Structure 1
C-alpha cells in the first residue's frame, strides 16, 4: 500500500462523482455538509447531482477531455451507479484515488462474473447456468426450471428479466432478449428479501449498516424496514458475514450493497451486488448516526470508518412518479403537507424536472421509538399518497 493510498483527504478538497442521479446528489449533499467541494461528471444539464454541485462536467463517461477535467478538479473520485464504464474508472485511477475500483465495478456489471465471485467467496446463491450460445441453451439442466432469465449485463430494477417455466419459454425468452449473454437462475420459494450495506476502507477496515428487510413491487424496491428483530438474529448475522465476505473477496473500497433472498425454509442466498450506496440504505439519513453517503465520503477520503449506530426504528417508502398521477394523466404534486403532519416523517425529493411513472422521484423516511409506531405512521403516509399497504 503506497503513501497515496493512506493519505487522508481533509475537508476543503473537491470530491468527484461519476453520474448525476439521485445517489450522486445525496453524496454531494453529504460531502458538502462535511466541508468538501463536489464535482459531477454527467452529460445531462438537468441532472439532480449536477444541479447541486460546485462543478458540473457535462460530458459522456468515456470522454477523455471530460475525464481529464474531472481528474484536474478532484482529489478523489467515486461513482453513483454500476453501469459507468469500468474503463473510465481505470483511466481516472491513473492519476488519483478512485473507489470503488474499475475491477470491482466490472464484476457487478456482469451477472455471470458476479455469480462466479459468490461461488469463490463461499456465499450461497441460487442455482444458475450461463447462456451465451445455442449449445449452452440446449444444455440447460431441467432442474433450473422454472427460472428467471436475466441479461448478464445492463439489467436493473427488474429490467432485462423474463420468467420462464418450460424449455420452450426459455428459448423464446432468450430470443426476446436478443440472444445476448444471459444467466438463468432457478426460481426459489421466497419468504422475503433483505440487503446489507457495508463500507470498506483502503486499510481493510469494514463496517456495516443493520440488515434491511425489503419489499419489491414490479422489480422495484417499494418498502424497507429496519429495526431490531426485523430478521431472526442468526439470519441477520449470516447476512452481515456474507456481505463482508463478498466485499473482502473483491478487495473492495467504498460502499457496497449486497442483496439477499430469504427462502421459505430460512436459507439465505445472495441475489446481486450494487457497488455504490443503495435505495434500501436511504433510511440511514434519518435513523443512523452515520448515513451510507457519509460512509461513501469517508471511504474515498481515508477518514476513519466508525460502526454506525441506529437510534430509531424506521420504515422507508420509495416515492415513484406514479404518485403524481393518482388523479389523472396530468402530473400533480402529492399532498406532502398532509404527510409531513405525521410525526417522524422525513421527505427527500431528488430534484428531477419531470415526474414519470415508475421513475424514482424521492423517498420518505419514517422514524419512531418503536417498530410498531414506525410502521403505523408509514401506513398512514402510504394511504395519503396512494401507495398500496404492506
Structure 2
C-alpha cells in the first residue's frame, strides 16, 4: 500500500450503498475527497450524495475492474462484502480495511476463536454443524442460549433462542440447518461499544464508550457518557485497540462488549469492521465524527481527535418512527438525520436523532 496520503480531489470507492455509505460520502465531501459507490441496488441511498456510482453485482468482474480503475482506494460500509470481491479489487487498488478483518468478522466461529486467542473473554460458545452437535452443545453450555448462523446474520436475523433442550429441533429449523454456533447467555449490566480507528501508520484513536439499549434485537439508543467508572471505560478502549492492532487494521471499527454486574469485567460480544450505528452520536458530539475518521484513515491522513465536547443520546428511527419527522425537526437541539430511503418497513433503519447536553 502506498504511504502517501491521498490529496483532496482523490476518489474513495465505497462497497455498499446503505446509510453508512451515505454518511461516509458526506464526511468525505467535507475533506474535499470524492466518493464512488459500488452497489447492486440502483435505488441505494448512498448514491444520492456521492460523486459517482456503479450499479452492478459483487461478482461482476468487468464492473469491478472498471470501478478499481476509477478510484484511489476502496473501503466498505458493511461487513458481508464477498471475500472474492475484496481480493479481486486488492490486486489493483488498496482495500482498507484489509481482507484479514473481513475474513475474521464474517464468520462468528472464526471471530470468537480470534478473540479467545487474544485472551479476550467472550460468551461460552460451540460449533454447530448439525442437530446432534446442537444437542451436545446445549448439554455442555446449558439454557437459555442463542443459536446463530455463522454467517450473514444481523439485527436479530439468523438467530433462534433456546430456552430448553426440547427447543433444539425448532431452533435448527429456524436457522435453516446452516452452519451455526451456540452461544450461552452472559449475565451483564449493560452493553457498551467502542468506536476505534487505526491509521496506516499504526496510530490509534478510540472514542468514549457508549451505553446501548436494544428493542427487538435492533439498536434503539446509544448514550455517552456510559455511566461506568473510568476504569471500565479505559479497559473497553484497551480491548478495542488490541483488536485493531492484531488485525493490522486501517479504518474505523465498532466493538460491542458486555459489562458484568458489579465488576470491571468485560465480555466482547462481536466487532464490525466498519463505521457503526452506535457511533452516530459522534457527528454532533465530536469535532471529528466516526465517518470523517474513517475517511481520514483509509485515505492515509492523520487521525483526528476523538474528543467528545458534549454528552449525547442517539435514538434510531425504525420503521414508522420516521413519520414523526416534522415533530422531531421542530424540537430545539435535535440533530435529525434522515437516510433518504423509501418504504418505512418494520425493522428498517430510516434515520436517527441525536440530542446534546453539556458535558458532565
Shift, 1:170, TM fit: 2.4
Shift, 1:102, TM fit: 1.8
Shift, 1:355, TM fit: 1.6
Alignment correspondent of 1:330: none
Q: Does 1:279 align with 2:277?
A: yes
- The 1-side partners of 2:251 and 2:24 are apart by 12
Aligned with 2:110: secondary structure? helix
Aligned with 1:69: secondary structure? helix
Pick the aligned partner of 2:250 from 249, 253, 257: 253
Aligned with 2:330: secondary structure? coil
Pick the aligned partner of 1:41 from 35, 38, 41: 38
Shift, 1:122, TM fit: 1.1
- The 2-side partners of 1:335 and 1:297 are apart by 29
8 Å contact from structure 1 (residues 127, 144) kept in 2:
no
- The 2-side partners of 1:301 and 1:323 are apart by 36
Q: Does 1:232 align with 2:229?
A: yes
Q: Does 1:91 align with 2:88?
A: yes
Alignment correspondent of 2:29: 32
Pick the aligned partner of 2:7 from 2, 6, 10: 10
8 Å contact from structure 2 (residues 134, 182) kept in 1:
no
Q: Deviations over 1:295-324 (max 9, x none)?
A: 111111110113311111100010111225
- The 1-side partners of 2:55 and 2:83 are apart by 19
- The 1-side partners of 2:95 and 2:156 are apart by 29
Report matched runs for 1:1-390 at 5 Å.
4-140=1-137, 141-227=139-225, 230-266=227-263, 267-324=265-322, 333-336=323-326, 338-370=327-359
Shift, 1:135, TM fit: 4.3
Shift, 1:118, TM fit: 0.6
Q: Deviations over 1:192-214 (max 9, x none)?
A: 11100111112211111110110
Q: Which moved more, 1:21-30 or 1:93-102?
A: 93-102
8 Å contact from structure 1 (residues 5, 202) kept in 2:
no
CA RMSD between the two structures:
1.5
8 Å contact from structure 2 (residues 131, 172) kept in 1:
no
How many residues are aligned here? 358
5+ residue gaps, structure 2: none
- The 2-side partners of 1:67 and 1:158 are apart by 31
- The 2-side partners of 1:234 and 1:40 are apart by 41
8 Å contact from structure 1 (residues 39, 74) kept in 2:
yes
For normalisation by structure 2, the TM-score amounts to 0.96
Shift, 1:151, TM fit: 0.7
8 Å contact from structure 1 (residues 199, 255) kept in 2:
yes
Q: Which moved more, 1:73-82 or 1:230-239?
A: 230-239
- The 1-side partners of 2:106 and 2:348 are apart by 21
Aligned with 2:68: secondary structure? helix
Aligned with 1:50: secondary structure? helix
Aligned with 1:82: secondary structure? coil
For normalisation by structure 1, the TM-score amounts to 0.88
Q: Which moved more, 1:185-194 or 1:360-369?
A: 185-194
5+ residue gaps, structure 1: 325-332, 372-390
When residues 304 and 370 of structure 1 are mapped into structure 2, their CA distance, relative to the original with a 3 A threshold, is closer
- The 2-side partners of 1:340 and 1:131 are apart by 47
